[in-house]
Structure 1
Amino acid sequence: MQMPYPLLPGAPELGKVTFGTLAEALRLGWADMKRAPGFGCVFAAFYVVLGLVMAWVTWATGQTYWLIFAAVGFPLIGPFAAVGLYEVSRRIEQGRAMDLYQIFGVVAKQSKRQLPSMSAIIIFMFLFWFFIAHMIFALFMGTMTMTNVSSSFDVFLTSNGLIMLGLGTAVGAGFALLLYMITVVSLPMLLDREVDYVTAMIASFKMVQDNPLPMLAWAVFIAVITFVAMLPGFLGLFFALPLLGHTTWHLYRLICREG
């Protein structure tokens, strides 16, 4: 079956990003979320369930300290939820019907294109972050007197505990920033165009490099809204993920100078 849209070849030239660009993208994203709220709930539901399962496994195994690393690492896989939302925004933009079957069909077709390779990189970074987090925990807490960190949170207030938390947060932020830089516009680009994932990642990375202040501010906004959304049992993701997904599509379209 052919793609329902003609795909332009190669990465497009990406224009300048200003704070005004971000505000306009956010306005358009909010409008899309209000226009098609059901689709946002559908695509966010998978990640809400995933977050709840992750938290349950952590508590059930008695290793609650992993909630700290999960809270930092969980947003790394957030871009997966956006692919369907990009398609919804594209259909709204083009005045096409909001057909759930067709939208899922477009998302499913990505399995034959470049998205699986990008997904593998995101998963690898997520798992590697968990490995590094475990090493950091062992480095700073492994030499301490045997304590049940699941019930004795005071160990995190020791000098080793505070250093561990600080270093873990810094390393996690570095992983999140790198992932943000290579995916912020590459994911919508892969849906929109016939381009290999390496070229898309390079284009996304360079775009952030060329627009450091607004794009770093946008990264902080994403991090804050995602973290706050996870606090009420991950239920806030029903709001945060659709808003960020629709907005990211419009950010890409606003700075895309071709097509």
Structure 2
Amino acid sequence: MESTAYTGSTRWDELVVNRIAINEPLQWLSKGWQDMRDAGRYSLAYGAAIVLISALITYLLYVTESQFLLPFLVAGFFLIAPFLGIGLYQMSAHLERGESLKTCNAVEAWKRNHTHISMITGGFLIIMQLWIASNYVLFSLLYEGISPPLDNFFENVFLSEKGRIFTIASIMVGFFFAWWAYMISVITVPILIDRKIDGFTAIRLSVKSVLKNMPAMMLWAFMIVLIVGIGLVTYYIGLLIALPLIGHASWHAYRALVPPS
């Protein structure tokens, strides 16, 4: 496939997506599990790399006494997770075609449509920065200084009256960012590495897939949050399995939602 993507536009009513059953995400998860087993060490190594990066970021937050940002970086993790799985989508594509995984990597996937994948990834990094910045603003409105005292951080943030206000406001802001990010990214990257298509058309296909299959896609969003959330609360160890599972399953979500070109 050529690395330069088609940049033409497709009208909304010309975008074709499939209608799926509400329990379809369970099949994606099953197929994702099978891909993870077939990929073996390649899939687990990919998950391990993300676990190590997550642990390093957390360590740096504690070293710089910025651990008050940790809950919001965890929430922001869900915003960029679709792009962290690019190598996993590529593995599933190779398995689908019966090809070897020895030369399969994220760079290969990125090269297929590097201009538009880079553009979309940059956009979501900006969204994540806006999410973090919004929490800085909320902190500055409720506390003196850049953050609450670290000696009783949990009590100040989550149990005090100010903390409850902050938590409610943060959840509302986070839900706004997360839902829109989910709609425009749920199958965008798999589309871009599989088809000669521009980024805006891929985003619109993703949004239309969600709007046309709202019950099933809400279930899929819940499953993603639950599985990745378990990985996060197990001190990231669970991400070793959770991220590859969701990444491979997301490839099958794309295959189910968008008809063959």
- TM-score if structure 1 supplies the norm length? 0.88
1:152 Cα offset (Å) = 4.2
Give 1:192's match in structure 2, choosing from 191, 194, 206: 194
Give 5+ residue unaligned stretches, structure 1.
none
Distance 1:257 1:98 in 2: 25
Alignment of 1:18-33 (within 5 A): 18-33=21-36
Q: Which position in structure 2 is the counterpart of 1:117?
A: 119
Q: Does 1:76 align with 2:83?
A: no
Q: Which position in structure 1 is the counterpart of 2:19?
A: 16
Instruction: Tell me if structure 1 keeps the 8 A contact 2:117–2:199.
Output: yes
Q: Does 1:158 align with 2:160?
A: yes
Q: Using a 3 Å threshold, how does the CA distance of structure 1 residues 61 and 202 change in structure 2: closer, same or farther?
A: same
Residue correspondences, number: 252
The one-letter amino acid paired with 1:75 is: F
Give 1:242's match in structure 2, choosing from 241, 244, 260: 244
Deviation string 1:177-218 (CA, Å, 9 cap, x unpaired) is: 111110111111001101111111111112111211111121
Q: Does 1:87 align with 2:90?
A: yes
Q: Give secondary structure in 1 for the equivalent of 2:24.
A: helix
Deviation string 1:66-114 (CA, Å, 9 cap, x unpaired) is: 1221221122221122111111111111111222x24455224146341
Q: Using a 3 Å threshold, how does the CA distance of structure 1 residues 39 and 147 change in structure 2: closer, same or farther?
A: closer
Q: Which position in structure 1 is the counterpart of 2:221?
A: 219
Q: Percent identity?
A: 27
Deviation string 1:220-245 (CA, Å, 9 cap, x unpaired) is: 11112112101222121111111111
Distance 1:199 1:147 in 2: 44
Distance 1:235 1:136 in 2: 31
The one-letter amino acid paired with 1:73 is: G
Q: Using a 3 Å threshold, how does the CA distance of structure 1 residues 196 and 3 change in structure 2: closer, same or farther?
A: closer
1:45 Cα offset (Å) = 2.8
Q: Give secondary structure in 1 for the equivalent of 2:219.
A: helix
- TM-score if structure 2 supplies the norm length? 0.88
Q: Give secondary structure in 2 for the equivalent of 1:151.
A: helix
Q: Does 1:43 align with 2:42?
A: no
Deviation string 1:12-64 (CA, Å, 9 cap, x unpaired) is: 62101222321221111111011112122232233212211221111112232
Q: Give secondary structure in 2 for the equivalent of 1:16.
A: coil
Distance 2:178 2:100 in 1: 35
Q: Which position in structure 2 is the counterpart of 1:98?
A: 101
1:175 Cα offset (Å) = 1.0
Q: Give secondary structure in 1 for the equivalent of 2:150.
A: coil
Give 2:177's match in structure 1, choosing from 169, 175, 180: 175
The one-letter amino acid paired with 2:166 is: M
Q: Give secondary structure in 1 for the equivalent of 2:236.
A: coil
The one-letter amino acid paired with 1:163 is: I
1:128 Cα offset (Å) = 0.9
Q: Using a 3 Å threshold, how does the CA distance of structure 1 residues 54 and 116 change in structure 2: closer, same or farther?
A: same
Give 5+ residue unaligned stretches, structure 2.
none
